[in-house]
Amino acid sequence: MVLERINRYLDELRKRNINIDEAYLFGSYAKGTATQWSDIDVALLTNKFIGDSFDFKFMLMKIARDIDLSIEPHPYLRDEFKKGNPMAAEVIKTGIRIY
């Protein structure tokens, strides 16, 4: 069920020509500890943001809200993701690649 919701979101991003190279489910859903109050953390890797990072994240959040209020997008530039960002390390360690 969670993957279906994420896939609807990713489909909407593709329809809007927003290039996402990889997507990972992480956090409580990936660890199997989600509750009814948990959000769905999704790391989105891209080679280039549309606008600055704040505007890009805001745009992704607005689209997520149209699809599912629980989806929480976390955008990363691919190069920054691989450079040892602590959040990226957590995503790599516990995340589930879904795209």
Query: What pLDDT sits at residue 27?
Result: 95
Q: How far is CA 34 from CA 1, 10, 30, 42, 75, in A?
A: 13, 21, 8, 14, 21
Q: 16-69 pLDDT, tens per residue?
A: 999 999 999 999 999 999 999 999 999 999 998 888 889 999 999 999 999 999
**pLDDT higher for 47 or 87?**
47
The DSSP element (H or E) to which 65 belongs, if any, is: helix 53-67
CATH number for 84: 3.30.460.10
Which domain covers residue 23, as residue numbers?
A: 2-97
Q: How many domains does the chain have?
A: 1
Rounded to two decimals, what is the model's pTM? 0.91
Buried b (16+ CB within 10 A) or exposed e, 66-99: ebbebbebbbbbeeebeeeeeebeebeeebeebb
